[in-house]
Amino acid sequence: MNKNCKLCWIILGLFFAANVVLLSLWWMSSQKKTDRSRGRGKMEMKRLRQHLESNIGIDSVQFDVFNKLRHVHFEQLNHTKLKIDSIERLLRLETFTDNSDSLKVYGLIDEIAVYQKEVEMQNYIHYRKLRSVCKSEEQRKRLDSNFKNLIDKKHGRHRNRYRSGRSK
Tens of pLDDT along 127-164? 999 999 999 999 999 989 888 888 888 766 545 444 44
Burial status of residue 66 (CB atoms within 10 A of its CB: 0-12, 13-18, 19 or more): buried
What one-letter code names the amino acid at 58? Answer: I
Rounded Cα distance between 167 and 156, Å, is 17
Digit-coded pLDDT (tens) for 84-136? 999 999 999 888 888 777 888 899 999 999 999 999 999 999 999 999 999 99
pLDDT at 122: 94
- Cβ pair 141, 55 in contact under 8 A: no
Residues 4-14 have a mean pLDDT of 83
- Dihedral angle over CA of 21, 26, 31, 32, nearest 10: 100
Burial status of residue 8 (CB atoms within 10 A of its CB: 0-12, 13-18, 19 or more): exposed
Q: What is the pTM of this model?
A: 0.62
pLDDT at 168: 44
pLDDT at 89: 93
- Dihedral angle over CA of 89, 91, 95, 96, nearest 10: 30
